[in-house]
Amino acid sequence: MKKIIEFASLVVIMLGILTIDINAYNKIKTNKKETKLEVARKYELAQSNIDDITITTFDNYIMNKVNNKLIEKNIKDYNDYQEYLKSLIVYDGLTMDQLAEKLDRSLKNELHGYGRLYAEYCLATGVDPYIAVAISLHETGCNGTCSTLMRECNNVGGQKGSPVCGSGGYRGFDTLEDGIKGFIDNLSQNYFGIGLNTPELMNKKYAASTTWAAQVNNYVNTIRSR
């Protein structure tokens, strides 16, 4: 009987130990699994962030490369177009640069340096640039000393109108550039636009003097020869 009791006690103890070992094992196993899952979860999250960053960076890199290439291409196309424009004959066998330089050789004092404005604006509005510069030189005297009307009112064509500047009802302009454009606009709208495209045809309407056309033509010939 005693041996049976001792055996039973031993079994209980062993079962207790075994239960403890199984619980410990399960706990370790569970902890290990949870740890592994946690590590995996954190790794995946970290990897996901890295992938996001990599994709974003790569996309930006590619877009920057594409944009840079487009910019380079646009700049090249623009420069090629500008070179093409420079090569075009625009008037009297001249390119725009050559025409502007030619006009500048006749424009003196305050008008010097405005050759390109005369060239570009005249051609844009359908006005003969030689005639426009010739009339300016005749009306302002800028082949020598520019007139008071030109210096104080920026009036390069002897135009009348408002706003009035000084005496005589002559029109004033805020800047010399405005005065040149206003003068060319007047030629375009009131002369060349209605077929009065030579000094002879313009003479009666533009000036009272019957020699005005001849004087303007003298300037035209001088401008053309320079």
- Higher-pLDDT residue of 188 and 50 is 188
122 φ, ψ to 5°?
-65, -50
Q: What is the pLDDT of residue 223?
A: 97
pLDDT at 185 over 50: yes
Q: What is the mean pLDDT of residues 25-34?
A: 57
User: Is the peptide bond prior to 163 cis by the omega test (within 30 degrees of 0)?
Assistant: yes
Measured in residues, the chain has a length of: 226
Which residue would you say has higher pLDDT here, 86 or 157? 157
Q: Stretch 11-21: mean pLDDT, rounded?
A: 49
pLDDT band for position 14 (cuts 50, 70, 90): low
For residue 95, give every residue at least 6 positions away whose Cβ sits within 8 Å of its Cβ, in sequence order, or none.
Answer: 86, 87, 88, 89
**Which tens digit of pLDDT belongs to each residue from 94-104?**
999 999 999 99
The confidence score (pLDDT) of residue 45 equals 56
Classify residue 139 by burial, with Cβ atoms within 10 Å: 0-12, 13-18, 19+. Answer: buried
Q: What is the mean pLDDT of the chain?
A: 82
Q: What is the mean pLDDT of residues 191-216?
A: 96
Tokens coding 213: 């056309």
Q: 2: pLDDT confidence band, cut at 50, 70 and 90?
A: very low
Q: Which amino acid is at 140?
A: T
What are 47's two structure tokens?
Answer: 């990897």
Looking at residue 204, its amino acid is K
Question: 90: pLDDT confidence band, cut at 50, 70 and 90?
Answer: very high
